Structure 1
Amino acid sequence: MQPATIKLFLVKGSPTGLRTAEISNWTGKAIAGPRSDLDDFLSRPELKSPGVYLLSGIDADSNEPVIYIGEAEDVSSRLKQHAKNEDKDYWVHTSAFVSKDDNLTKAHIRYIEGKLIQQAYNSKRVVVMNSASSGSSLPEADRAEMDVYIERMLQLLPVLGIHHLTSTSLSPEKPNLLNPDKPSDASNQILLCKVKGKLTATGKRSEGGFTIFQGSQAVEQAVDSCPERIIKFRSKLIEKGILTLDDGCYIFTEDYEFTSPSAAAVIIRGRSTNGLTAWRTDDNRTLKDLEREP
């Protein structure tokens, strides 16, 4: 993504309360806030115009993040309808995006909605409450303009507390597991996690914790003493197709970000593991050693 200057305004002074966000030289504007501030949120004059909105929260049963993505020619009116819907009891946070120059049409917002829904499904990091993506056909020039709009949205969403739509891919050049002698880029601090010298996973520190790279290997069976929550999490990764069984081990089909090095290493080894010592460089320095270096 391009470097950007973000202007964040805390309407009530609270960093998690009602707030607006803008990016320099961008015609869009974001309004975000908790559902507890919904009345003040809906009174914003910007939301009387066409836009795209995201309703997010945590599923009570699975404890997984959930999101609903919608569009409306009058965002405020549509959100009032959602507020009356008992099926959306998971909804605790609202983010809406509109245009400062009133140039977003119905076709534009449907195109943006469709792209965001697809992005959410592809991320496999959030439960998408939409049944399908609507989308819209646009002329080539309009598509290019809306793609830039979406890119700016994706820059702002993590600032507003929505981290599930952004990609965890960190570098187009991943270590080649078929050629472990290939030197790693020291500046990227590519790390390895090995299991009994047979299986190898690669990854690195990332903004959200620790990301395991596509092609990494993990044990087929967790040990009996492995915590139940880890076993359930491995099962979810398998259900989502992020882990697939191949010749006696699981393979990561894509980059995946975990909350910490230990959370990533536990999935690889199928047992309790200290990620600071499990992840090592080619020359056997641990992640703990790296973080102690100047």
Structure 2
Amino acid sequence: MQPATTKLFLINGSPTGLRTAEISNWTGKAIAGPRSDLDDLLRRPELQSPGVYLLTGTDSESGDPVLYVGEAENVSKRLKQHAKTEEKDYWVHTSAFVSKDDNLTKSHIKYIEGKLIQLAHSSKRMIVMNSVSSGSSLPEADRAEMDIFIQKILQLLPVLGIHQFSVMATLSPFQSNPKASIYSDEVPLFHIKSKGVTASGRRSEEGFTVFKGSLAVKLAVKACPAGVVKSRERLLEKGVIALNDDHFVFTEDYEFSSPSTAAAFVQGGSVNGLTAWVNGENQTLKSFESQ
């Protein structure tokens, strides 16, 4: 992803309140804010035009992030309909993306919506309220232009507080294997060999990523953190891990919030990840990073 200058404007002065975000030399613009500021958001003139929007919050039962992706030819009007006709109890924050030069058509925004939904499902780090969407068919030139538009959206999402796309956002989201080149040799590889299983991974932007093919113990100890136990159940249901004889195997890369959470998941108990993960020279992650 290319370096970029981001302009963030806090409309009411609050860093979590109504705000706009732009990237240098990009025709798009983001307008975001909490649901408590929805009336002010709906009055923004930018939202009278075509765009895509994300409604985000937290599931009350699992504590997992929740996301809904939508598109509309008049974003403000559509958001107003959501507020009036649908419960959406999880919805606490809105992020909308429009074009400053009014260059987005209905086909464009449906294409963007479809790709964002696809990426959200692929990340498996949130509850996605949309089913998988095929989006809209576009001419080759338009697809290339919209792919760049989507990359800019992904670049801005963490700035707006939405981090679940972050692993996917480091590359073009439409490569056949979007995670293949995320981890360069500049980021050291660490591993755990314990209780008959072996797992490998690296530090990543949002914590620690365990790689596809890594193993995790099948049975967690009684003292295993409840959050780790629930995470195992959830990732098994989502297919991120699969049961293979007497252990679990990661079917894809997965990013955990910290090295300790990743290590606890692998070993099935409370673990200090800074000392559990070691590199090829048997140096702990803590020792390596202290240098």
TM bucket normalised to smaller: over 0.9
1:181-226 deviations in Å (ceiling 9; x for gaps): xxx94x4221111113x32111122221111111111111112332
Number of equivalent positions: 282
Alpha-carbon offset, residue 134 of structure 1: 5.1
Q: In 1, distance between residues paired with 2:151 and 2:255?
A: 20
1:230-254 deviations in Å (ceiling 9; x for gaps): 2111111111111112242211111
TM-score, length-scaled by structure 2 = 0.92
Match of 1:195?
194
Q: In 2, distance between residues paired with 1:141 and 1:50?
A: 20
Query: Does the CA contact (< 8 Å) of 1:55 and 1:91 recur in 2?
Result: yes
SS in 2 for 1:205: strand
Match of 1:52?
52
Alpha-carbon offset, residue 32 of structure 1: 0.7
SS in 1 for 2:14: coil
Q: In 2, distance between residues paired with 1:172 and 1:153?
A: 20
Q: In 1, distance between residues paired with 2:100 and 2:203?
A: 37
Query: Does the CA contact (< 8 Å) of 1:113 and 1:134 recur in 2?
Result: no
Identity score, percent: 66
Match of 1:156?
156
Runs of 4+ in 1 over 4 A off after TM superposition: 168-171
The gaps in structure 2 that reach 5 residues or longer are: 169-177
Query: Does the CA contact (< 8 Å) of 1:4 and 1:23 recur in 2?
Result: yes
Q: In 1, distance between residues paired with 2:47 and 2:181?
A: 39
Alpha-carbon offset, residue 171 of structure 1: 5.8
SS in 2 for 1:90: coil
Q: In 1, distance between residues paired with 2:17 and 2:262?
A: 32
Match of 2:221?
223
Q: In 1, distance between residues paired with 2:13 and 2:198?
A: 48
Q: Which moved more, 1:28-37 or 1:220-229?
A: 220-229
SS in 2 for 1:188: coil
Q: In the alignment, does 2:263 pair up with 1:292?
A: no
TM-score, length-scaled by structure 1 = 0.91
Q: In 2, distance between residues paired with 1:161 and 1:55?
A: 12
Q: In 1, distance between residues paired with 2:224 and 2:111?
A: 45
The gaps in structure 1 that reach 5 residues or longer are: 175-183
The root-mean-square deviation of aligned C-alpha atoms, in Å, is 1.7
Query: Does the CA contact (< 8 Å) of 2:221 and 2:269 recur in 1?
Result: yes
Q: In 2, distance between residues paired with 1:162 and 1:13?
A: 20
1:80-91 alignment, distance < 5 Å: 80-91=80-91
Match of 1:106?
106
SS in 2 for 1:60: coil
Match of 1:255?
253
